[in-house]
């Protein structure tokens, strides 16, 4: 490559590949594999959900009947008011002015980081974590300080977090429920994180996109709602997760008015706004009867059980989880002596795309025994995937 040909990109991007989600979805498309990697409900599956169907019809109506032009940058008034009412009914009061609608939760996270992190600021992240946090912090000029969660329960380790805080620490990013493991923080852990935020004057970016996807009676508790957090928390939410429509890329950031305004300044120079038809539909959907949401949740619960039961019958050990669209196979406990990345390759060859958890772990000594699978798929897809994973396991020489 001559000097003239060499791309002069930012070194951060020049050194990275595509995300593990994109990588695995591309492999699934290329190989015709079942995709249990990236987290989304299959089209057929979402299409069977009356909630998703009704929302699609609302979007189609809005596309024909409503404005086709730029909505206000922070979001349509009707959606900001709808989200404020939605959250006020479930926790501390939210004002419409505290809502910034974004093009997906990942944009909301980016806007929050750009708005809050100055060069040299340290931001506490936990591992494992969603892959966007650390690169966004670094691109904002911040330093990602990564504190591993403590297995086996993936607990927030107060001593380790405390030790990681310096006078330069500005913020922490807390994902609860946690992607990729599907665990939820305890009331004690959230109280401890809030205490650290108030004692050290930190802002918390609370990625709570999975708040509505909890099982086995686990209630959602928000770090943003803990004592002392008003005015120092930005809560991130997602219509993709709420309605099972990930491709819509409608998300939001919720905060006190002053913080929300700051996030809005960053958002106005990222995407500026979000397609109006989708915003109208989400605003309408927030007011749909609770039965539609319950039916969707029941469907997720059935699919989760079907995948867990199928995997167990096939001899896999499934790690404990309480939330998200994901379950993790514990490879080591299943008698598979391969790393997650090696088994993921093996599984692709057998026709199933998955996510190796180590790909979402930036700290040293990543766990290499966990493979994440998404279960929001039709029964036949889950059943076929289990058969194929079972065949892949046979090929490793593992017993059972």
When the beta carbons of 22 and 379 are compared against ligand GLN, the nearer one is 22
CB 236, min distance to ligand GLN, A: 12
Whether residue 393 contacts residue 314, with contact meaning beta carbons closer than 8 Å, is answered with: yes
What six digits make up the tokens of 242?
Answer: 């709420």
CB 21, min distance to ligand GLN, A: 3
When the beta carbons of 213 and 254 are compared against ligand GLN, the nearer one is 213
Cα–Cα distance for residue pair 22/303, rounded to 1 Å:
24
Task: Count other C-beta atoms under 10 Å from residue 63's C-beta.
Answer: 15
Site for ligand GLN, rule CB under 6 A: 19, 21, 38-39, 106, 179
CB 118, min distance to ligand GLN, A: 26
Cα–Cα distance for residue pair 290/114, rounded to 1 Å:
36
Cα–Cα distance for residue pair 25/64, rounded to 1 Å:
32
When the beta carbons of 106 and 358 are compared against ligand GLN, the nearer one is 106
What six digits make up the tokens of 173?
Answer: 């990013």
DSSP state letter for 323: B
Spell out the residues 6+ positions from residue 292 whose beta carbon is closer than 8 angstroms to its own.
Answer: 50, 51, 54
CB 252, min distance to ligand GLN, A: 15
When the beta carbons of 131 and 284 are compared against ligand GLN, the nearer one is 131
When the beta carbons of 74 and 177 are compared against ligand GLN, the nearer one is 177
When the beta carbons of 212 and 256 are compared against ligand GLN, the nearer one is 212
CB 7, min distance to ligand GLN, A: 23
| Nearest CA among 226, 282, 345, 258 for reference residue 103 | 282
Task: Report the residue closest to ligand GLN, judged by CB.
Answer: 39
CB 106, min distance to ligand GLN, A: 6
Cis peptide before 142 (omega within 30 of 0): no
């Amino acid at each position: 490559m001559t000097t003239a040909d060499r791309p002069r990109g930012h070194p951060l991007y020049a050194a990275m590949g595509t995300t593990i989600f994109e990588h695995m979805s591309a492999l699934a498309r290329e190989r015709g594999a079942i995709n249990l990697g990236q987290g989304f409900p299959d089209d057929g599956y979402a299409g069977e959900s009356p909630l998703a169907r009704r929302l699609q019809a609302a979007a189609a109506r809005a596309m024909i009947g409503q404005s086709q032009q730029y909505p206000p940058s922070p979001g349509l008034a009707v959606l900001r008011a709808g989200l404020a009412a939605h959250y006020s009914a479930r926790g501390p009061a939210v004002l419409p002015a505290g809502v910034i609608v974004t093009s997906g939760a990942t944009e909301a996270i980016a806007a929050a980081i750009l708005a809050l992190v100055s060069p040299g600021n340290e931001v506490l992240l936990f591992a494992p974590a969603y892959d966007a946090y650390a690169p966004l912090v670094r691109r904002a000029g911040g330093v990602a300080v990564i504190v591993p969660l403590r297995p086996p329960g993936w607990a927030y380790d107060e001593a380790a977090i405390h030790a990681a805080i310096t006078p330069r620490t500005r913020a922490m990013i807390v994902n609860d429920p946690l992607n990729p493991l599907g665990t939820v923080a305890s009331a004690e852990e959230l109280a401890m994180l809030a205490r650290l935020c108030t004692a050290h004057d930190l802002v918390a970016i609370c990625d709570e996109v999975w708040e509505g996807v909890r099982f086995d009676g686990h209630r959602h508790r928000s770090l943003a709602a803990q004592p002392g957090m008003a005015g120092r928390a930005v809560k991130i939410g997602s219509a993709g997760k709420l309605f099972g429509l990930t491709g819509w890329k409608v998300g939001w950031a919720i905060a006190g008015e002053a913080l929300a305004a700051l996030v809005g300044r960053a958002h106005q120079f990222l995407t500026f706004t979000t397609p109006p038809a989708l915003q109208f539909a989400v605003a309408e959907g927030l007011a749909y009867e609770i039965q539609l949401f319950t039916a969707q949740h029941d469907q997720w619960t059935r699919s989760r059980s079907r995948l867990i039961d199928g995997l167990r019958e096939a001899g896999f050990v499934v790690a404990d989880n309480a939330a998200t669209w994901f379950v993790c196979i514990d490879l080591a406990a299943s008698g598979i002596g391969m790393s997650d990345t090696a088994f993921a390759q093996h599984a692709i060859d057998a026709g199933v795309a998955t996510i190796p958890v180590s790909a979402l772990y930036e700290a040293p000594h990543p766990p290499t025994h966990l493979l994440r699978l998404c279960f929001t798929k039709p029964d036949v897809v889950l059943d076929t995937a289990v058969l194929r994973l079972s065949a892949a396991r046979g090929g490793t020489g593992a017993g059972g």
